[in-house]
Homo-oligomer: A and B are copies of this chain.
């Protein structure tokens, strides 16, 4: 059932974190870029080739200790279709290495169009009698501004293909409150209302651990809301961005977990991707540095959950 595979991975590695693959070119070691530019020039194709090598090195170094990766679509789309090919190849590679793949696309649209997005990112695309996999991630982030119509088609694919989704509830960015903190009918905030919709949407997709296949994105940068939502949404698994570079610490994310230490996965992107720059190590050890940072992050967060 949805997210059971993710939770199994988290338990097996005793690590409730996900490595965000947001590969800005400035994060890449020079030798990877030079190799790629030699073959393809300083072009979208050259950049996309360098990023694929970079991602593979990271996945190799992380796959036995980190349960999941989260590629952010924007950092692939900016390199055009060549970047999207790297995204598809990255997803494929991570799955082959046993990692759970959360594609961060924040997609949203009306029903018929969401069917197309669900096929693209989680399900299969029918080309006459042939069923083809376009991106084939395990879970997708989505935006619920359009209501149930935009969620139901994704639910359907999640049910049929054992996939999951995370709906934006309370995002980690500074201006997230402009709309999300507004009070609806003087009672509940927009983010709380969206959270309750997740509980509702998830009813048909309950998993063995008590969490449904409809998760929520709740930022580490708002710990009070994280705690409020953890209590209000007992069946909703959280994807928590904002740890590390965005300012959230391990204590801030502790309220995201239930009494069994489950219920959430914490994302770090820049902290892991740029570990070699922060450490000041040889650039050819970028993946080693990422692994050391991933272990540090795991131990810090697991420590805070156990202490909590």
Contact = CB atoms under 8 A, between A and B. Distances in A.
Interface in A242-270: 246
A74 B22 contact: no
Contacts of A127: 25, 42-44, 46-47, 79
A166 to B, nearest CB: 13
A227 interface: no
Contacts of A96: none
A173 B193 contact: no
Nearest to A124: B78
Interface of A: 22, 25, 33, 37, 42-44, 46-47, 72, 74-75, 77-85, 87-88, 106-111, 113-114, 116-117, 119-121, 125-130, 132-135, 143-150, 168, 171-180, 182-186, 190, 193-194, 197, 241, 246
Contacts of A126: 25
A74 B127 CA distance: 15
Given A178-B148, A179-B145, A81 B74 contact: no
Contact of A145 (B22, B128, B171): B171
Contact of A185 (B82, B177, B183): B183
**Copies per assembly:** 2
B173 A77 contact: no
A110 B81 CA distance: 22
Contact of A78 (B87, B125, B129): B125
A74 B193 contact: no
Contacts of A87: 81
A241 B110 CA distance: 11
A305 B75 CA distance: 43
Contact of A134 (B83, B176, B185): B83
Greatest chain B CB density within 10 A among A47, A125, A146 is at: A146
Nearest to A181: B147
B185 A116 contact: no
B146 A171 contact: yes
19 contacts: A25-B126, A42-B129, A43-B127, A43-B130, A44-B125, A74-B120, A77-B120, A78-B120, A78-B134, A79-B125, A79-B132, A80-B132, A81-B85, A83-B120, A108-B108, A146-B168, A148-B178, A178-B197, A183-B185
A183 B180 contact: no
Given A42-B130, A106-B109, A88 B80 contact: yes
A101 B67 CA distance: 41
A113 to B, nearest CB: 5
A110 B171 contact: yes
Contacts of A83: 120, 134
Given A43-B127, A179-B190, 6 more contacts: A74-B117, A78-B116, A106-B109, A110-B173, A147-B177, A184-B190
